[in-house]
Amino acid sequence: MTSFAHKPTLVGPRVTLRPIGPEDFEELWADLGDQEARRLTGTHAEFTKEQIERWVRSRAAQSDRLDLAVTDSASGEWLGELAILDWDPDNRSCGFRIALSARGRGRGLGPEAMVLVTDHVFEHLPINRIGLEVFDFNTRAIAAYERVGFVREGVLRQALCWEGAYHDAIVMSMIRQDWLQLR
């Protein structure tokens, strides 16, 4: 059985991915108030400080998912977070999500973070497929996913209602064979 009990630190030229912990509460709490981030992720839910405090304290104990802070390699500054989640052992597949903070968006850092985590997953775990969904209006994210090797699979029509307007979710994935051809 695959376990995400080991929480690696993955270092790239511009970003470092490290396990999320209690020290990340303030940054994560601030990100939850970022209206653009909420729109890009389709987050309607409201959270309390207590919920987020419990969540950051619980990350190290999770063996069914991997939650990593995206930080600046030079300064250690918080840039956002990402997760490998929804592990399906029978099909050797999992989900992926990334949410960069305002200071992390638009700097070309997402692709580096994605390469670091997909390389880790395919090199160290028996995973064959990493899937994700992205909303049709998030064209920067779609381009970034495609740049690192995610492939469009389909569309979930009108999957998000945001401020009275419906938006499609683009379904994308990277399979081990795609990754091997790219790396």
What is the SS3 assignment for 111? helix
What's the token pair of residue 60?
A: 């190290």
For 114-149, how does the pLDDT look when each residue is reduced to its tens digit (9 = 90+)? 999 999 999 999 999 999 999 999 999 999 999 999
Sheet holding 165-175, edge to edge: 10-11, 15-19, 66-72, 78-88, 93-100, 129-135, 165-175, 151-162
CB-CB contact of 19 with 59 (8 Å): yes
What's the token pair of residue 84?
A: 């490998």
CATH of domain 10-182: 3.40.630.30
Q: What's the pTM value of the predicted model, to 2 decimals?
A: 0.94
For 78-105, how does the pLDDT look when each residue is reduced to its tens digit (9 = 90+)? 999 999 999 999 999 999 999 999 898 9
Residue ranges of the domains in the chain? 10-182
For 9-29, how does the pLDDT look when each residue is reduced to its tens digit (9 = 90+)? 999 999 999 999 999 999 999
CB-CB contact of 60 with 33 (8 Å): no
Q: At what angle do helices 139-148 and 109-124 cross, to 10 degrees?
A: 40
Per-residue pLDDT at 20: 97
